[in-house]
Amino acid sequence: MNMLTAQSAKNLVSIMLGFGIGAVNTLVLYPHFFGAANQGLVVFLLSASNLLMPLIGFGVSQTMIKFYSSYEKSAQQNFLSFIVVLPLIIFIHDAIS
């Protein structure tokens, strides 16, 4: 039980650190570097990325699990690269349109 408590404490500290960094970014750094006029743009871009990522990456993990073993060892790296780059290409295409 001691190991579980120690791991939980480490997770709690890392989550609190992440929230702290996010708060400093949002409250201090964004207004300082982007100004008040662009604060809305930054918030919109972050919100849009959080909403679009599940739609863009829909089914990618299941595709990777299903087809990874069917490729030869030499082609597996190309397949993984394609899986990583494909959502980026779709996002860029949607952003340009």
Domain segments of the chain as ranges: 1-47, 57-97
Handedness of CA 73, 74, 77, 78 (dihedral sign): negative
pLDDT > 90? residue 12: yes
Neighbours of 2 (CB within 10 A): 6
Per DSSP, helices labelled H in the chain are 2-24, 30-56, 60-67, 73-96
The span from the CA of 36 to the CA of 33, in Å, is 9
Confidence at 7, pLDDT banded by 50, 70, 90: very high
Confidence at 1, pLDDT banded by 50, 70, 90: low
At 40-92, the pLDDT tens digits run 888 888 888 888 777 777 777 788 888 888 888 889 888 888 888 887 887 78
For residue 70, how far is the Cα from the chain centroid? 27
The span from the CA of 94 to the CA of 55, in Å, is 12
CA distances from 23 to 16, 31, 80 (A): 10, 12, 34
